[in-house]
Amino acid sequence: MPDMSAHLALTQLVPFAAEELDKNKVTPGVLGFIVFAVLALAVWQLMKSMNRHMGRISFEEAPDPAARTAPAAARTAPAAARSGKATAGE
């Protein structure tokens, strides 16, 4: 058997494999299932971690420091102008 191709070796060593092999049918096999399962577990773990981290975040907005220093009359003047009421300065 010095000059034998891989196909001939396969048919001689495992004769039933050539008969059962369908060239039109392609399946991922066990390796494909294992890779898919590992990816699914990784995504599940990432989602679990993301939910835990999102739970720790405080979504309350900090007050604007510029709004604290502005006088109260300056903040209420635009509201009074929209309602049609005149302010004391006008």
**Is 15 within the bounds of a domain?**
no
Say how many residues make up the chain. 90
pLDDT at 72 over 60: no
Q: Give the number of domains in the chain.
A: 1
DSSP H helical ranges for 3-90: 6-13, 15-20, 29-56, 65-69, 72-83
42 belongs to a structural domain? yes
Return d(Cα 87, Cα 80) in angstroms, integer: 7
Is 46 part of a structural domain of the chain?
A: yes
Which residue reads 């679990």 in tokens?
48
Could you tell me the residue range of the domain that residue 38 belongs to? 29-54
Say which residue, 64 or 44, is predicted with more confidence: 44
Does residue 90 fall inside a structural domain? no
Please check the confidence at residue 66 and state whether its pLDDT lies above 60: yes
Is 60 within a domain? no
Task: Give residue 32's pLDDT.
Answer: 94
Residue pair 17/11 in contact (Cβ under 8 Å)? The answer is yes
CB-based contact 87:77 (threshold 8 Å): yes
37 located within any domain: yes
Residue 89 lies in a domain: no
Mean pLDDT (the chain, rounded): 75
d(CA 19, CA 80): 90
Sorted by sequence, the CB contacts under 8 Å of residue 7 that are 6+ apart come out as none
- pLDDT computed for residue 71 by the predictor: 59
Would you say residue 57 has pLDDT above 90? no
Residue 35 belongs to a domain:
yes
The tens digit of pLDDT for each residue in 16-56 reads 555 676 778 888 899 999 999 999 999 999 999 999 999 88
Q: Name the residue with higher pLDDT: 68 or 87.
A: 68
